[in-house]
């Protein structure tokens, strides 16, 4: 929210100081409260307040969301006074911030951890911009962002990467550093931005304490992750479009059910509210995603001209519980009658209707469903009944069938599902009926591996090989770390699986392990 009225004379003085090049941290002595509102218009900082970097997100043709958070003591509650603090922002057409196109001030409020979310408007479509914040005499790093192309504009090319699962203790964010150097318009992050688990010994890095439950603990955990310079570089290089999975709250939660701890519903919803608030505070999300208690409106749609429309899903907040077993048992379970309950849902009725209505209406060349858990069937072969991981769409086969039937019957143009969660790369066709090998192919799914979760990983595993053999629609498996780079044109979608050979040490190189393509109008993946 822009509040130009907080611009006072003391603010203007500090602004001249800032433009005069004073980048160093000021002493606390220059603090000047605006008495009537309790606003600190001209704060001083004992330590650098932009310790968590900057970010931008959810680009529209005429604007983008800018994010930062004032946190001079990032790992210890932030270190800010319990007052709103004035923060100025600027958007420029050049990387030296010489040609400022838009600027304003906003408030970093204590009730949101002194996070700042600025919805910039009035920009031109399909253009790079640079931005920075300042507060008191201190300026943030400069970030770069890009607006979306004009609505229905004929766009030749969109290039983006998608990534997920950055368990801090498991390794370094070398993949983010490489991603920051790519030629991209956008990054999609599909969940497990943080992990809630306690600290462990003997890993490359260490969490900051026990399993996180309170708002203060979630804030400190985000601050730990976001203090990583490689992650900051990737945020500063491109706008991100984010959605969350389970570990932003607790492993395998399902709506109001804490599958891991089985805490009472009220207690769990309090935790979920704290987790969602900390998520919002640390992500470049628009105001529409501001949590309301334990609820957060995260699913949304973003268009890139006439070329692509992204449907960002939330497959945790509204789902029914994982069927066919107790916590973790359902990860290797035979399909039981509970899985075939017609009231079982992955998206909830409202989000499911919204998704199908949007796909039905879309005139985009590529219709992207960006979401968390694998949609393709992944049979785990063994003697006797096959096993499934019921935390994935395999645990919700009738809900999946409703989506796949829609793709088969209504035929929205080129459906592509992009997925995170499973710390492995998978490529597969989506079939109208996975139990019929001659079924029509209705789309493609690209599953991206983790940035760091599960450590170094391997090119392949015996389990992965057996699953590729047992599932004819699956074309590729790999368990190294990295991200997926997509180059989308009117005729073709190419996806490149970018992998690093290790994450438990710094400095890994990046390479392309595999590439697959989907041709316009031809459902299903082909080797590039
Ligand atoms: Fe994960
Ligand atoms: Ca997950």
CATH number reported for the structural domain that contains residue 94 in this entry: 2.60.40.380
Confidence (pLDDT) at 153: 87
Report the domain count for the chain.
2
The answer for residues whose C-beta is within 8 angstroms of residue 396's C-beta and 6 or more apart is: 319, 320, 339, 344, 345, 346
Q: How far is CA 59 from CA 40, 128, 149, 273, 411, in A?
A: 30, 11, 9, 26, 27
Measure 330 CA to ligand 2 centroid, in angstroms.
14
Domain assignment of residue 392, yes or no: yes
Q: Cα of 453 to ligand 1 centre, how many Å?
A: 6
pLDDT tens for 92-106 read 999 999 999 999 999
Q: Note whether residue 490 is domain-resident.
A: no
User: And the tokens for 163?
Assistant: 């990534």
- Residue 196 Cα, ligand 2 centroid: separation in angstroms? 11
Which of 91, 120, 145 lies at the terminal end of a domain, its last residue?
145
Could you tell me if 324 and 336 are in contact, meaning their C-beta atoms sit under 8 angstroms apart? yes
Task: Give the closest ligand to the alpha carbon of residue 195.
Answer: 1
Last residue of a domain, one of 126, 145, 164: 145
State in Å: Cα 191 to ligand 2 middle: 7
For residue 491, being part of any structural domain is answered with no
Determine if the pTM surpasses 0.95: no
Residue 388 belongs to a domain: yes
Tell me whether residue 526 is in a domain: no
Q: Which two tokens stand for residue 504?
A: 């438990």
Which of 376, 314, 320, 322 is closest to 343 using CA atoms? 320
DSSP secondary structure string for all residues of 408-463:
HHH--SSEEEEE-SSSSEEEEEEES-TT-TTPPEEEEEEE---SSTTTTEES--HH
pLDDT at 383: 85
Neighbours of 525 (CB within 10 A): 26
Mean pLDDT value across the chain: 93
Would the pLDDT of 337 be above 70? yes
Ligand 2 mean position to 255 CA, how many Å? Answer: 14
Residue 8 has pLDDT above 60, yes or no: no
Structural domain contains residue 99: yes
Please give the pLDDT value at position 211. 98
Instruction: Please report which confidence band the pLDDT of residue 37 belongs to, taking 50, 70 and 90 as the band edges.
Output: low
What separation in Å is there between the alpha carbon of 246 and the centre of ligand 1?
8
Closest-approaching ligand to the CA atom of 249:
2
CATH code of the domain covering residue 353? 3.60.21.70
Please check whether residue 407 lies inside any domain of the structure. yes
Full domain range(s) for residue 66: 41-145
Is 13 a member of any domain?
no
């Amino acid at each position: 929210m822009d509040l130009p009225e907080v611009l006072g004379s003391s603010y203007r003085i500090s602004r001249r100081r800032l433009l005069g090049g004073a980048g160093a941290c000021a002493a606390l002595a220059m603090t000047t409260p605006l008495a009537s509102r309790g606003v600190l218009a001209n704060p001083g900082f004992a330590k650098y307040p932009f310790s968590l970097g900057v970010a931008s997100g959810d680009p529209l043709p005429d604007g983008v969301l800018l994010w930062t958070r004032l946190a001079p003591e990032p790992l210890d509650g932030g270190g800010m006074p319990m007052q709103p603090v004035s923060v100025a922002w600027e958007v420029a057409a050049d990387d030296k911030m010489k040609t400022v196109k838009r600027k304003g001030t906003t408030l970093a409020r204590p009730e949101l951890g002194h996070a700042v979310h600025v919805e910039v408007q009035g920009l031109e479509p399909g253009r790079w911009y640079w931005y920075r914040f300042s507060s008191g005499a201190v300026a943030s790093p400069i970030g770069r962002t890009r607006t979306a192309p004009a609505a229905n504009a004929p766009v030749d090319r969109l290039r983006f990467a998608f990534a997920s699962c950055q368990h801090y203790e498991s390794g370094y964010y070398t993949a983010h550093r490489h991603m920051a150097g790519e030629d991209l318009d956008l990054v999609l992050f599909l969940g497990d931005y943080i992990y809630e688990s306690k600290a462990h010994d003997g890993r490359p890095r260490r969490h900051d304490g026990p399993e996180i439950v309170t708002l203060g603990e979630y804030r400190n955990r985000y601050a730990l992750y976001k203090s990583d310079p490689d992650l900051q570089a990737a945020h500063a290089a491109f706008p991100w479009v984010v959605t969350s999975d389970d570990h932003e709250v607790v492993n395998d939660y399902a709506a109001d059910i804490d599958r891991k701890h089985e805490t009472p519903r009220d207690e769990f919803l309090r935790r979920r509210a704290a987790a969602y608030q900390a998520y919002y505070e640390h992500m470049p999300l628009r105001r529409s995603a501001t949590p309301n208690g334990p609820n957060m409106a995260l699913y949304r749609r973003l268009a890139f001209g006439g070329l692509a429309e992204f449907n960002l899903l939330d497959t945790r907040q509204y789902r029914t519980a994982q069927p066919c077993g107790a916590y973790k048992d359902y990860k290797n379970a035979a399909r039981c009658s509970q899985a075939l309950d017609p009231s079982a849902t992955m998206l909830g009725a409202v989000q499911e209707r919204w998704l199908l209505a949007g796909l039905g209406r879309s005139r985009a060349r590529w219709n992207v469903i960006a979401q968390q858990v694998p949609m393709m069937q992944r049979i785990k072969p063994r003697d006797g009944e096959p096993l499934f991981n019921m935390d994935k769409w395999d645990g919700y086969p009738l809900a999946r069938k409703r989506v796949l039937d829609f793709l088969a019957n209504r035929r929205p143009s080129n459906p592509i599902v992009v997925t995170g969660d499973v710390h492995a790369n998978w490529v597969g066709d989506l079939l109208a009926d996975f139990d019929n090998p001659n079924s029509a192919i209705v789309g493609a799914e690209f599953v991206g591996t983790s940035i760091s979760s599960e450590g170094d990983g391997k090119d392949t595993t015996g389990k992965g090989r057996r699953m590729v053999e047992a599932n004819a629609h699956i074309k590729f498996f790999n368990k190294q770390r990295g991200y997926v780079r997509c180059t989308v044109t009117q005729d073709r979608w190419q996806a490149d699986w970018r992998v690093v050979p290790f994450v438990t040490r710094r400095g890994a190189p990046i390479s392309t392990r595999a590439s697959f393509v989907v041709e316009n109008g031809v459902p299903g993946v082909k080797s590039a």
